[in-house]
Structure 1
Amino acid sequence: MKSFEYGDKEISNLDMTITVSSMIIGVGILMLPRELAKEVQGSDGWMSMLAAGILAIGVAWLLAKIATHFSTQGYYAYAAAAVTKPIAFIAVFSLSLYFLSFCAYEIRAIANIAKQYLFETTPVEVIAFSFLMVNVYAVSGSRVGLIRLNILFIPIVLIITAAVLLFSLGMVDIKDFKPFFTTDWKSLASAMKTTAFSLLGFEVVLFYITMMNRPKEAPKAVMIGVLIPVIIYTCIYLVCVGVFSQMALPEITYPAVELAKEMTIPGEFFERFESIFFTIWIMAVFTTTVMAYDCTIYALSFLFTKPKHKTWVFVLSPVIYLMCMYPKNLSDFDKMSSFISYFGIVVSIMMPIVIHIVAKLRGVKSDVS
């Protein structure tokens, strides 16, 4: 008898595509239109968005291509053979710290936003703790179950996002898109850097490649996974410019949420659609957070084989909570975001590339036949 298709521990190309998209789509889009509006004039942010998207897709393809070389043995074993075990230990441990910080950042961000829009009288500490506990429960289960959960959540997120954009088109003023092509290249480059940080997350392929039933097709799956958020982010940015204008956007903390507040549904079926939008978006942030949590455990399990999965879950949870509560104000939170982004580029993109180059030079055994 043939086993149930979704009862195994392998994931398909579609699973990987949706996993990458779910990892990227998080709190970044809620603030990205504001950050772009600070750097560019008119609606020129779409050029930075497109350039950053192309760069992210290219880097994601390269990282997935590298990951296919250790789709069976794993990142740590491949790195150890290439650059010795001590250096490989540092590389993988640094990667676990990156995902741990990523998880803490997402939890604090969702706590800040939830307090502003949903729970005005609830302390941030309580919201963050509650959200963390949900993640602890989720990550304690099956790893493949988390990946399949993305397939359940992502269609809902995409449908609600499409609804917000569709019902907001009536408020778009074409004049707010002008002037065109007036932003200097330095400002476009700065905006491109901001956008690129919001597209991080495809690094999960370094770990989840070991679960794919056809790892050679990972590069294509990852590229599509990055392309989906690029399209969504660009559409949200352009609609936000058309509704609020480029001059007003820098003063709006979370333009995407405010867009949901401003939109009108025929018949006034919903009066506060932003609550529905934000509640659904919490699902997207949840999948991002729980996968960052899981990747942290995945990385540490390569280095320390004795502790069980659930042991890591409960050991790391207070560390994550303390990290997410470390920023005392919005300025500290922004600094935390920048640090995580730069740190992530170094340990999750540059290090694997360097390790792969060394592996090729030394003739290290590859899983690619």
Structure 2
Amino acid sequence: MSTQTLTEKLISKNHMGINIASVTIGVGILTFPRTLAKATSAFDGWISVVLSGAIAYLIAWLLAKLASRFPRQTFFEYTSLIASKPVGYVLTILVCIYTMLFVSFEIRAIGNIAKQYLFYNTPVEMITLSFLLVVQYAVSGSRVALLRLNLLFLPVVLYVMLFVLLFGQPLIDLENVRPYFSSSWSSLLKGTKDVGLSYSGFEIILFYTMLMKRPQEATKSVLLGLLIPTILYLTIYIFVIAVFSAEVAKNLTYPTIELAKEVEVPGGFFERIESIFFTIWIMTIFNTCAMWMDITVLNLTSMFKKVKKMVWIFTLSPVIYLIAMLPQTLIDFFSFGDNLTYYGIVVVYLVPILLLFIAYLRGVKSDG
């Protein structure tokens, strides 16, 4: 009976893939066509999207290999096993800083975009605080229940995106995508780097593999989890360039939302598609924020077992909010996102990959 109950509380390979896809499709998808259009020429940014997706999959595969090597252990536990307990404390705290900063970035993004497109007269501080309180409430509940929300939300988001692209087809001008293959390799590589933030999120495999029914299938989960965003990013970029052209896309703060604004449904049934699009998109960003905050709490409780979960939630929330309010301008905000990406490359990409190689060399495995 206990075994059946435990199995019911665990998540499947496909469910984990959906979680990865959901957390990856966050704020970055609204802005990446602009940064990509600046780095590359005309239509060639699609090459950077594919290259970035391939690199993300390689890194995610290595992270999944590390986590599946220690199937029922937290990040702190298997890091301590590989590199000693003091190193485990340091690395886990660095990861907690990263995940907490990511929550700050996402909730501030919600504040900025909601004020620009939905709540014109509401202070960004109040929008951000309201969203954080909802995220806080979600994290205080069941972890597996939180993850299962993605099964409900992600299909809705994908259907709305398909709806926008379907009715955006009449706006396509093929002249906007010419010339082809005019970008140098250096600009394509720069575009690959710039679109990297949009793929951030697959590193949740490091922390949630222990909740899988078959942790050894984690590598298959990352394939599904990154295939969905890659196809979606590729399609959105093609539409943005084909509708606006690369020159126009460079000057749009949120090209994906602007694309939704241009869409018109025959018969005038929907007047403002971008409002519907953004309202639905809030669900994905909500799940992204909730999972990152949950991971922060998960790592802290794994280190300090005597401190209760709710204590960490109430302690972290004011810090997250204050950090979110630090950027004063959009330039500061996007700079915050770029710096966060570079920090994440070291803390949740390079360091875990190094730990994987150390574990292989030393033959360290889970006892279970």
Residue number in structure 2 paired with 1:226: 226
Give the partner amino acid of 1:188.
L
Structure 1 residues 363, 6: closer, same or farther in 2, change over 3 A?
closer
Which piece of structure 1 moves more, 295-304 or 2-11?
2-11
Residue number in structure 1 paired with 2:166: 166
**Where do residues 73-222 of structure 1 align in structure 2 (5 Å cutoff)?**
73-222=73-222
Give the partner amino acid of 1:245.
S
Structure 1 residues 210, 2: closer, same or farther in 2, change over 3 A?
closer
Deviations 1:137-179 (A, max 9, x none): 1111000011000101001000000111111011101111001
Structure 1 residues 2, 296: closer, same or farther in 2, change over 3 A?
closer
Distance 2:317 2:310 in 1: 11
Distance 1:266 1:235 in 2: 23
Residue number in structure 2 paired with 1:45: 45
Determine if contact 1:71/1:367 at 8 Å carries over to the other structure: no
Residue number in structure 2 paired with 1:366: 366
Shift of 1:192: 0.4
Distance 1:243 1:357 in 2: 46
Deviations 1:181-218 (A, max 9, x none): 00111111111001122101011111101110111111
TM-score (norm 2): 0.97
Shift of 1:8: 3.1
Distance 1:42 1:77 in 2: 48
Which piece of structure 1 moves more, 55-64 or 172-181?
55-64
Give the partner amino acid of 1:129.
L
Structure 1 residues 362, 2: closer, same or farther in 2, change over 3 A?
closer
Residue number in structure 2 paired with 1:62: 62
Determine if contact 2:27/2:109 at 8 Å carries over to the other structure: yes
Determine if contact 1:30/1:256 at 8 Å carries over to the other structure: yes
**Where do residues 29-44 of structure 1 align in structure 2 (5 Å cutoff)?**
29-44=29-44
Give the partner amino acid of 1:199.
Y
Distance 2:283 2:345 in 1: 26
Residue number in structure 2 paired with 1:318: 318
Q: Does 1:243 align with 2:243?
A: yes
Give the partner amino acid of 1:348.
V
Determine if contact 1:72/1:367 at 8 Å carries over to the other structure: no
Give the partner amino acid of 1:223.
L
**Where do residues 290-305 of structure 1 align in structure 2 (5 Å cutoff)?**
290-305=290-305
Determine if contact 2:7/2:213 at 8 Å carries over to the other structure: no
Distance 2:62 2:79 in 1: 17
Distance 1:110 1:162 in 2: 22
Q: Which runs of 5+ in 1 are unaligned?
A: none
Q: Secondary structure of 1:307's partner?
A: coil
Determine if contact 2:176/2:242 at 8 Å carries over to the other structure: yes
Structure 1 residues 61, 250: closer, same or farther in 2, change over 3 A?
same
Determine if contact 1:102/1:292 at 8 Å carries over to the other structure: yes
Q: Which runs of 5+ in 2 are unaligned?
A: none
Determine if contact 1:41/1:183 at 8 Å carries over to the other structure: yes
Shift of 1:360: 2.2
Determine if contact 2:74/2:299 at 8 Å carries over to the other structure: no
Distance 2:273 2:5 in 1: 37
Determine if contact 1:135/1:290 at 8 Å carries over to the other structure: yes
Shift of 1:89: 0.8
Structure 1 residues 277, 6: closer, same or farther in 2, change over 3 A?
farther
Shift of 1:331: 1.8
- State the identity as a percent: 48
Count of residues paired in the alignment = 368
Q: Secondary structure of 2:14's partner?
A: helix
Distance 2:103 2:27 in 1: 12
Shift of 1:81: 1.9
Q: Secondary structure of 1:327's partner?
A: coil
Determine if contact 2:42/2:180 at 8 Å carries over to the other structure: yes
Residue number in structure 1 paired with 2:329: 329
Deviations 1:303-334 (A, max 9, x none): 11111111111111001000100111112112
Give the partner amino acid of 1:64.
A
Residue number in structure 2 paired with 1:253: 253
Distance 2:73 2:124 in 1: 42
Deviations 1:9-54 (A, max 9, x none): 2111121011100110111111111111111111100000011111
Determine if contact 2:14/2:224 at 8 Å carries over to the other structure: no
Distance 1:265 1:127 in 2: 29
Distance 2:279 2:82 in 1: 45
Distance 1:3 1:305 in 2: 24
Structure 1 residues 355, 7: closer, same or farther in 2, change over 3 A?
closer
Distance 2:7 2:78 in 1: 29
Give the partner amino acid of 1:335.
S
